[in-house]
Amino acid sequence: MKGRNMKRGIAAVIALTALWISSPPVFAEEGCVTDKCHQGMGKAQFVHGPVGAGQCVVCHTEGKPNHPTKSGSKDFKLAFGGGKDLCYACHNRMDANRVVHKPVATGDCIACHDPHQSNAELMLKKATTSELCFSCHENNKTKRAFVHGPVAAGDCNICHNPHSSPYPNLTEEKATDLCLLCHVDRKEEFTRKYVHKPVEEDCGKCHNAHATDSKFMLYGENKELCYRCHKETQKHIEESAVQHSALKKEPCTGCHTPHSSNFPRQLKAATKDICYVCHVDLGAQVQNAKNLHGPVKQNDCYACHDPHGSNYTKVLKKAFPPEFYMPYRTENYAICFDCHNKDIALNEFTTKLTDFRNGDTNMHFLHVNKEKGRSCKACHEVHAGNQEKHIRKEVPFGKNWKLPVNFTKTPTGGRCVVGCHKPKDYDRVNPVVY
């Protein structure tokens, strides 16, 4: 391409030299710029080189210095037939890329540039770039609540090349790379372990490059913008009987980063740190506890809870009763039996299903298979606690009383001192007789 331009430039010099030899140059001060003709020429803030040098013949040929005014400048023909060929005699070609601006493609350089002089940089016909662009393009980009800086400043050329580009919409770079030409301070946000798919493809998926009615140039507010892509999540949330309260208080960005993150699911922090921002009391309980439930210890709140919504209490993924006391049915504790043995409380006598035995008497069966059966959480902490086997320290009973539960583990059993019955022991090897 450089070689082709060089050859074209050499040809232009040769042609202009021949022109000068056959017809001596006409200098502006020798007749073009007089009190009667072109008297304002060369007086603007920005003047085209040949005009500033007073060498009209660089672009115009034939005619006389004081040509008749009745025919205007038509007595002077343009060199090289005018149009883009005349401009390219001096200037590099502007139509070499895949996407070419229409005036450039048609060779109509003077649609945007004044060939003689202008009060605007680059010899533009309008005071600002945007004013010039809106001569052809509809001005629907500056009349919104939030306007992109370059648009507000009237400088379309910050993002768009006015002549040609390898990229759609004549942008100076492709997609996200274009935004990072200016938003250098945000670049680190795009290089973390987990990158939001629109960021990898094009910032324009979420942000409008010109103007919007939403902050940060977004196409919509809060979760409605996310739902444009995450339709399955939207459906799941809307159809859930129990929705995560965080979704009612905060946008999706309350928990997730919109660009990238070093944590799965583009969370702002590790799962427990995100959850404990709201669940402060639970966070304190976990932090101070000696024994943590497996999923809590593994920092996996998602093992039991759906972070958006579900049809079960506490946004659990599967069934678990909200009550402390109710008749036992295995299916009511589906969330527990994702990990634990679902038959643990079905047999009155066993030597294998559980260690909570007095001899071969299944103490789980004994506690839950009653008219007023106990829920798992009536005895066990579901997140964290200080007693062995995640035994609770107390259980709510009525409106005012908390039943104490003190458990001591022994090598072959244990001892319970509780508020619901007198102290009792159990032993797998030497069963206690009551």
In a domain, 227, yes or no: no
Q: Evaluate if pTM is beyond 0.75.
A: no
Domain count, the chain: 4
Residue 35: predicted pLDDT: 73
Position 77 pLDDT exceeds 90 = no
Residue 54: predicted pLDDT: 86
- Picking from 314, 334, 354, the residue at the C-terminal end of a domain is 314
Position 23 pLDDT exceeds 60 = no
Residues 15 and 112 placed together within one structural domain of the fold: yes
In a domain, 19, yes or no: yes
Q: What are phi and psi of 334, to 5 degrees?
A: -55, -35
Q: How many CB atoms lie within 10 A of CB 315?
A: 20
Residues 326 and 302 placed together within one structural domain of the fold: no
389, burial (CB in 10 Å: exposed 0-12, middle 13-18, buried 19+) = middle
Per-residue pLDDT tens digits for 315-374: 999 999 998 888 899 999 999 999 999 999 999 999 999 999 999 999 999 999 988 888
Position 155 pLDDT exceeds 80 = yes
Residues 338 and 302 placed together within one structural domain of the fold: no
Residue 142: predicted pLDDT: 84
In a domain, 290, yes or no: yes
Per-residue pLDDT tens digits for 217-272: 999 988 889 999 999 999 999 999 999 998 888 899 999 999 999 999 899 998 88
Residues 403 and 323 placed together within one structural domain of the fold: yes
Residues 266 and 284 placed together within one structural domain of the fold: yes
Concatenated DSSP letters of 219-230:
SSSHHHHHTTT-
pLDDT-derived band at 57 (thresholds 50, 70, 90) equals confident
- Picking from 253, 280, 314, the residue at the C-terminal end of a domain is 314
User: Can you give the residue range of the structural domain that contains 300?
Assistant: 234-314
100, burial (CB in 10 Å: exposed 0-12, middle 13-18, buried 19+) = middle
b/e 402-429 (16+ beta carbons within 10 angstroms → b): eeebebeeeeebbebebeeeeeeebbbe
- Picking from 295, 314, 333, the residue at the C-terminal end of a domain is 314
Residues 272 and 349 placed together within one structural domain of the fold: no
Contacts of 303 (CB under 8 A, 6+ apart): 294, 295, 338
**Residue recorded with tokens 């670049």:** 187
In a domain, 22, yes or no: yes
Residues 92 and 118 placed together within one structural domain of the fold: yes
Residues 394 and 411 placed together within one structural domain of the fold: yes
Q: What are phi and psi of 197, to 5 degrees?
A: -55, -45
In a domain, 65, yes or no: yes
In a domain, 363, yes or no: yes
